[in-house]
Amino acid sequence: MLNQNILALGKKRSTIREIFEFGNQRAKLVGRENIFDFSLGNPNVPAPDSVQHAIRDIINTKHPSAIHGYTSAPGNEECRAAIAESLNARFGTDYSAKNLYLTLGAAASISLCFKALTASPADEFIVFAPFFPEYQVFIEHGAGAKCVVISAQVQDFQINFEEFERKLNPHTKGVVINSPNNPTGVVYSAETISRLSALLTTKSEEYGHPIFLISDEPYREIIFDGIEVPFIAPKYKNTLVCYSYSKSLSLPGERIGYVLVPNTVDDFGDVYAAICGAGRVLGYVCAPALFQQVIAHCAADIADISIYEKNRNILLEALTSMGYKCVKPEGAFYLFPKTLEENDRAFCERAKKYDLLLVPGADFGAPGHMRIAYCVQTETVQRALPLFEKLAKEYGL
Amino acid sequence: MLNQNILALGKKRSTIREIFEFGNQRAKLVGRENIFDFSLGNPNVPAPDSVQHAIRDIINTKHPSAIHGYTSAPGNEECRAAIAESLNARFGTDYSAKNLYLTLGAAASISLCFKALTASPADEFIVFAPFFPEYQVFIEHGAGAKCVVISAQVQDFQINFEEFERKLNPHTKGVVINSPNNPTGVVYSAETISRLSALLTTKSEEYGHPIFLISDEPYREIIFDGIEVPFIAPKYKNTLVCYSYSKSLSLPGERIGYVLVPNTVDDFGDVYAAICGAGRVLGYVCAPALFQQVIAHCAADIADISIYEKNRNILLEALTSMGYKCVKPEGAFYLFPKTLEENDRAFCERAKKYDLLLVPGADFGAPGHMRIAYCVQTETVQRALPLFEKLAKEYGL
C-alpha cells in the first residue's frame, strides 16, 4: 500500500535520534548538565548580531506583503547578487545573480543536483566514505540513481584514488565531495583537489560527457590554523557548489542556501534550467522569503566560530595524550578518532555508561571510528575529558 | 546528459511567467498603475499584525540558537500542538501534535503525500479539472506515478461523478481535491463531499485497499456569503489534509504548512512514518524554524481577507452584466468565467491589448475559460471594469 523503501526510511530511527532520546532520559535522572552530548551537528554558536538586526530592520521598515510574498523560484535578485558579490570579493570570481539558485539549505541543494542530473536509473554518483548518510537516500530514493561508495582512506581521510579510478566508468554522472568534511573534519589538500580535477577532466573526455563535481560546502568557512582552503569551483569547470547558511551564520533551522552553477559548466543554460525544473518537481517553490532578504544583508558575515577551533585544540590534545588515535581535523566541528575496539557500535554503547554520547563511524560508512561533534560549550568539552580518560582506561590505555 | 523531462519543466516558461514579463515590459511604457495584472495568486492582503508582533517578540526575547536551530523533522512540538488545538476548537476534532507533520507549504505537503503513497509506477492519482498544474508535475516526475484527469463539469465545477466512477480502478491510490478551488473559486457542496466519501468507501472495500483522499486546503478560510464549508477530514477516514499558511496568514514566501494525518487513517502509524520518510527523501529536513514559532503563536489567526469577498462581488456583478458567463465562486480569490471565444489563449492574448493580464483556462485543464486572480486592490478591480467592457464589445456583447 505504501512505498516500502520510504516507509522503512521513515520508521528507522536514526542512531543519532536514538542517542538523542537516550540523552533525554538520562538528563531526567542525572541533570542535563551531566550529559555530554557530542552526537548532534547543531551549531551552538549564536547567529551573528547582524542577522537579528536585519530581521528587525526588515520587519520594522517594509510592508508585510513585500517581506512575506512569493519570490521568483530562483530567488530574490538582490539576495542572489549579494551572494555573488561576496563570493567574488573572497575568491576573485565573476559570478552574478544568474549563477545562483536559492534553496532550502544544503540538503535541498544536493537533492536538486541529483534530481536534475539523473537521466537514467543506470546513472551513478560516487561518494567517498565516510560520508553524510543522507547522500545515499537522495541519490537512490530521491533521484533513482545508483550510489557508489569509495572506501575510506583512514590514514588521512583524503581520497582513495586507486579505488576511485577503478570505479569511475561511463555511467558516472557525478562525484560528491564535502570538504571540510562531516564526519572527519578533514580538509582536502590542494594536491587532492588538483589530482581530482585532472582525473575528472581526463575521464570526462574519455567518456564523451561531463562528470559533475558536486561540492557540498556547508563548512567552507569553518577552518583552522590559518590554512588556505582552495575554493573548488574554479579548479574544475563542471563543479556545482551546494551551500547552506546553517553553519556559517548558525541558521540550520531556517533552511536557506544555494546551488551555484558557474558559467564554465558545460551547457550552462541547460544545467541551470534543469536545476529549476528539479526545484519544481520537488515542490520547493522558493526559499523562505524573509531569510532571502536577511541573506541579502548578511551574505558576507560569519558567526563567531572561534570556539570550534578552541574546542578542537582541547579535545585533540587531550584525547591524543590519552592514547586515542585521530587524524587531525582542520575544519568543521567534528573529530573522528578510532574507537578503542573494532566494533564501533559496542564502543559507543560502552561510552554511554559515562553519559558520553558519540555516533558510531559505521553510520557514515567508516566503521571502527566514532564521530565527536564538538559544537558545544568549551566547558562541556573540558568536563568530558576525565570521562574519555576513564573510558580509555577500560581498554587498558 | 540531463533528465530531459526535468529540463523541459525548467525551460518551459509558464504562461503565468510569460504574462508577468509582459506586464513588466508594459509597466515601463505605461506605468505600473495602468497594468491590470490578474494573473498571480500572490495575496495582496498583509499578514496580520500578530505575525509581525510574534516575530519581534521571538527575536527580542529568545536566544538566537533557540530560534534558528534545527527542529525535529516533523516540527516543533509546541507549534504542532497549537495547530491541533486550533483545528479542534474550530471543527470539534481531537487531533494532537502527533497527527501533524510540518512542511514547507502546501506544494511540499502534496509532494510528500504522493511520494509516500506511490508504491509502484502503476499507481494512479486522480485530479479533477480544472486543477493546479503542479499536481501533475509532483505525481509524474516527483513520485513516478500516473496522473488521471477527470474533465471539468463546467456548469458548476462540482465533481463529474459519472466520469470519476468510470476511471476509478484497483490502481487508484489517491484522489486530490482542492476546495475552495484554484482556479474556479468554487466550494464543494456538502452533497458533493458526502457522495465522494461514499463512493471512495465503497471502492476501497471493493479493491481491498484504501483510496486516500488528499485534500489540498490552502484556501480553507477564504469563504464568502457566510456559507458553511464542510471540514473534510471527519467525512472520510482516509483523508490526508495538506495545508499552507500562504493564504490565511498571507505568508506565501515563507513556506510553512502541514500534512494532517488523522488517527482514522488505515495503518496510521505507517502512513505517518511514510510521510516522514518522504520528507527525508525530498531533502526537506524541517520547516523554517522561526516561522514554526510564529505559527505556534498565530495558528488561530487569519489575515483581514474581507477584501476578497468585496472584489468578488464587484467583479462578478459587473462581468455578468456585461454578458460574461461565470459560475459564482464562494471562496478563494479567483473567478473563472468563460472566454468570449472558444480559443482561450487567443482571448487572453487579445485582452493584453487593454493591459488586462489573464491566464487561459487551458493551463488548468479547462480550455474555454480564463482565470482572474482578484487578490489585488479594489481600486484596481474598479478601474479594470471599463476595459473588460471594451473587450466584451469586441465580441459583440
Of B63, B279, B288, the CB nearest to A46: B63
Grid cell locating B68? 534558528
* DSSP annotation of A354: G
CB count, 10 Å around CB of A377? 13
CB count, 10 Å around CB of A313? 13
pLDDT computed for residue A40 by the predictor? 86
Q: Is B277–A118 a contact, with Cβ atoms under 8 angstroms apart?
A: no
| Nearest to A281, CA basis, from B136, B43, B39 | B136
Q: How far is A226 from chain B (nearest CA, A)?
A: 27
**What residues in A contact B277, CB-CB < 8 Å?**
3, 5-11
Q: Is A142–B283 a contact, with Cβ atoms under 8 angstroms apart?
A: yes
Distances, alpha carbon B277 to alpha carbons A12, A138, A156, B280, B321, in Å: 9, 11, 34, 5, 53
Residue B157, pLDDT > 70, answer: yes
Give tens-digit pLDDT for B16-38: 778 888 888 899 999 999 999 99
Residue B383, pLDDT > 80, answer: yes
Q: Taking the alpha carbons of B171, B173, B179, B181 in that order, is the dihedral positive or negative? A: negative
Q: Is A46–B52 a contact, with Cβ atoms under 8 angstroms apart?
A: no
User: Count of H helices and E strands in chain B?
Assistant: 14, 12
pLDDT computed for residue A258 by the predictor? 98
The residue length of chain A stands at: 397
Q: Is A68–B254 a contact, with Cβ atoms under 8 angstroms apart?
A: yes
What ranges make up the beta strands (E) of chain A? 36-37, 100-103, 124-128, 146-150, 172-177, 212-216, 239-244, 257-260, 334-335, 356-357, 359-360, 370-373
Domain B49-298 has CATH 3.40.640.10: yes
Q: Is A286–B141 a contact, with Cβ atoms under 8 angstroms apart?
A: no
pLDDT computed for residue B12 by the predictor? 81
Buried b (16+ CB within 10 A) or exposed e, B82-100: bbbebbeeeeebebebbbb
Could you tell me which residues come within 8 angstroms of residue B29 by beta carbon, excluding any fewer than 6 positions away?
none
pLDDT computed for residue A18 by the predictor? 81
Q: How deeply is A205 buried, as exposed, middle or buried, from its count of CB atoms within 10 A (0-12, 13-18, 19+)?
A: exposed
Omega prior to A43 cis, within 30 of 0: no
* B356, β-bridge pairs: B36
What single-letter amino acid sits at B300?
Answer: A
How far is residue B165's CA from residue A90's CA, in Å, rounded to a whole number? 62
Residue A15, pLDDT > 90, answer: no
Shortest CA distance from A50: residue in chain B: B64
Could you tell me which residues come within 8 angstroms of residue A287 by beta carbon, excluding any fewer than 6 positions away?
A71, A75, A102, A103, A104, A255, A256, A257, B255
Give tens-digit pLDDT for A216-233: 999 999 999 999 888 999
* B239, β-bridge pairs: B213
pLDDT computed for residue A219 by the predictor? 96
φ, ψ dihedrals at A214, nearest 5°: -95, 105
Contact B347, B337 (CB under 8 A): no
* DSSP annotation of B337: P
Residue A33, pLDDT > 80, answer: yes
Grid cell locating A295? 541573506
**What residues in B contact A208, CB-CB < 8 Å?**
none
Residue B214, pLDDT > 80, answer: yes
Could you tell me which residues come within 8 angstroms of residue B120 by beta carbon, excluding any fewer than 6 positions away?
none
pLDDT computed for residue A192 by the predictor? 97
Contact B291, A55 (CB under 8 A): no
Q: Is A52–B59 a contact, with Cβ atoms under 8 angstroms apart?
A: yes
**What residues in A contact B144, CB-CB < 8 Å?**
144
Q: Is B209–A1 a contact, with Cβ atoms under 8 angstroms apart?
A: yes
How large is the average pLDDT for residues B120-146? 97
Contact A334, A182 (CB under 8 A): yes
CA B250 to chain centre: 13
How large is the average pLDDT for residues A77-81? 97
Residue A63, pLDDT > 70, answer: yes
What is chain B's mean pLDDT, rounded? 95
* DSSP annotation of A139: I
Shortest CA distance from B71: residue in chain A: A253
How large is the average pLDDT for residues A141-150? 97
**Which of A48-54's residues contact partners 24+ apart within 8 Å by CB, and which partners?**
A48/A249, A48/A250, A48/A298, A48/A301, A48/A302, A48/A303, A48/A304, A50/A297, A50/A298, A50/A301, A51/A249, A51/A251, A51/A294, A51/A298, A51/A301, A51/B64, A51/B68, A52/B59, A52/B64, A54/A293, A54/A294, A54/A297, A54/A298
Grid cell locating A207? 567518456
CB pairs under 8 A between A and B: 260
Of A45, A283, A290, the CB nearest to B107: A283
Q: Is A119–B273 a contact, with Cβ atoms under 8 angstroms apart?
A: no
Q: Which range among A171-175, B39-43, B371-375 shows the weakest confidence by mean pLDDT?
A: B39-43
Shortest CA distance from B109: residue in chain A: A283
3-state helix, strand, coil in chain A (%, to 5): 50, 15, 40
Grid cell locating B181? 478551488
Residue whose grid cell is 487572453: B348
**What residues in B contact A272, CB-CB < 8 Å?**
10
Contact B256, B288 (CB under 8 A): yes
Give tens-digit pLDDT for B247-258: 999 999 999 999
How far is residue B367's CA from residue B129's CA, in Å, rounded to a whole number? 10
How large is the average pLDDT for residues B167-193? 97
Q: Which range among A87-101, B34-48, B100-114, B184-198 shows the weakest confidence by mean pLDDT?
A: B34-48
pLDDT computed for residue B13 by the predictor? 67
Contact A256, A245 (CB under 8 A): yes
Of B51, B70, B277, the CB nearest to A9: B277
Q: Is A104–B283 a contact, with Cβ atoms under 8 angstroms apart?
A: yes
What is chain A's mean pLDDT, rounded? 95
Q: State the pairing for strand pair B370-373/B359-360.
A: antiparallel
Shortest CA distance from A59: residue in chain B: B52
**What residues in B contact A63, CB-CB < 8 Å?**
46
Q: Is B68–A4 a contact, with Cβ atoms under 8 angstroms apart?
A: no
How large is the ipTM? Answer: 0.94
**What residues in B contact A107, CB-CB < 8 Å?**
283-285
Q: Is A283–B280 a contact, with Cβ atoms under 8 angstroms apart?
A: no
Question: pLDDT > 90: what percent of chain B?
Answer: 91
Contact A289, A266 (CB under 8 A): no
Say what angle helices A289-298 and A49-61 make with each other, to 10 degrees.
120
Instruction: Tell me the HSE value of B268 on the side-chain side, using a 13 A CA sphere.
Output: 12
Residue A363, pLDDT > 80, answer: yes
Domain spans of chain B, in order of start:
4-47+304-394, 49-298
Of A2, A55, A70, the CB nearest to B42: A70
Domain A64-298 has CATH 3.40.640.10: yes
**What residues in A contact B250, CB-CB < 8 Å?**
64-65, 68
Domain B4-47+304-394 has CATH 3.90.1150.10: yes
Q: Taking the alpha carbons of A55, A56, A58, A62 in that order, is the dihedral positive or negative? A: positive
| Nearest to B43, CA basis, from B247, B298, B277 | B247
Q: How deeply is A160 buried, as exposed, middle or buried, from its count of CB atoms within 10 A (0-12, 13-18, 19+)?
A: middle
Q: Is B289–A55 a contact, with Cβ atoms under 8 angstroms apart?
A: no
**What residues in A contact B281, CB-CB < 8 Å?**
6, 9, 137-138, 141-142
pLDDT computed for residue A110 by the predictor? 97
Shortest CA distance from B376: residue in chain A: A65
Q: Is A10–B110 a contact, with Cβ atoms under 8 angstroms apart?
A: no
Q: Is B11–A56 a contact, with Cβ atoms under 8 angstroms apart?
A: no
Grid cell locating A40? 548532534
What do you get for the CA distance between the two ends of chain B, in Å? 53
Shortest CA distance from B212: residue in chain A: A1
Q: Is B250–A116 a contact, with Cβ atoms under 8 angstroms apart?
A: no
pLDDT computed for residue A318 by the predictor? 98
Q: How deeply is B30 buried, as exposed, middle or buried, from its count of CB atoms within 10 A (0-12, 13-18, 19+)?
A: exposed
Q: How far is B354 from chain A (nearest CA, A)?
A: 26
The residue length of chain B stands at: 397
Distances, alpha carbon A260 to alpha carbons A72, A141, B10, B75, B350, in Å: 16, 24, 16, 29, 40
CB count, 10 Å around CB of A157? 24
Rg of chain B over Cα atoms, rounded to whole angstroms, equals 21
**What residues in B contact A1, CB-CB < 8 Å?**
117, 119, 209-210, 266-267, 270
φ, ψ dihedrals at B311, nearest 5°: -60, -40
Could you tell me which residues come within 8 angstroms of residue B21 by beta carbon, excluding any fewer than 6 positions away?
B13
Sheet holding A239-244, edge to edge: A100-103, A257-260, A239-244, A212-216, A172-177, A124-128, A146-150
CB count, 10 Å around CB of A256? 28
Q: Is B275–A10 a contact, with Cβ atoms under 8 angstroms apart?
A: yes
Shortest CA distance from A110: residue in chain B: B283
CA A302 to chain centre: 17
How large is the average pLDDT for residues B273-278? 96
